[in-house]
Structure 1
Amino acid sequence: MLPTPQLADRDIIEQKAFIIQAIQAHLSGAATIDALAGWALKAFHSLYSDDQDVIEQPEEADDDVDTAEEQDADETVIESVLDLLMFADTPEFALSPAQLADAITDLQR
């Protein structure tokens, strides 16, 4: 089963975990590639507000917050992986299990 695609109210670590969970659901046969692509589209759109072109992040309570540079890198990886997944149901953009595993590795960095 796929996790909720509503990522905007999650921190970066949770966003990555939800995306990994969605990919693993597909790899295990619990979700079709069409379902994964649809989920990724909803997840991608959930990250953007109507007024801005930036990923919305909730306020962080911890003093141990990533630097702005690390957060930008994390956001770029999230956007890139979601972009790959959104079109994975189209034959010319189909992803192999190895490519999906690579996406998981990218998210775990």
Structure 2
Amino acid sequence: MVVSANELNVHFSTISRELSRNAVNSEYDPEVAHELSMARKQTSTKANRRSTSTSTDEVIRKCLQLNWSPLAISLRIEVELEADDMLSHTTIYRRIEDDRRQGGTLYRQLPRYGKTR
């Protein structure tokens, strides 16, 4: 394993982790490894938080209309919604930025929008 790691110019622990994660019946198949990797990626917490939920989107929109900051919104979501729907203020900023890129106007409702100092 160390020899193949040196040939690939990576640490041997990288090869070891790859084999332990993706070997099926002690055999490594790159196509199966890729499929396993994609399945893990789909079910990851980060991927699930990035996907939009109508309940959280409604709360974000309502709170922005009330001039709340994303930090205040994230604290409110903790109280109002289930643990699965909790979002950090950073994730809320990302959703607002994604909305802006798609032509939305949520960013204009941020409390400090347009303020220069």
Same fold, TM-score > 0.5, yes or no: no
Taking structure 1 as the reference length, what is the TM-score of the superposition? 0.27
Normalised TM-score (structure 2)? 0.26
Higher share of residues assigned helix: 2
Higher RCO, Cα 8 Å, sep 6+: 1
Rg larger in structure = 2
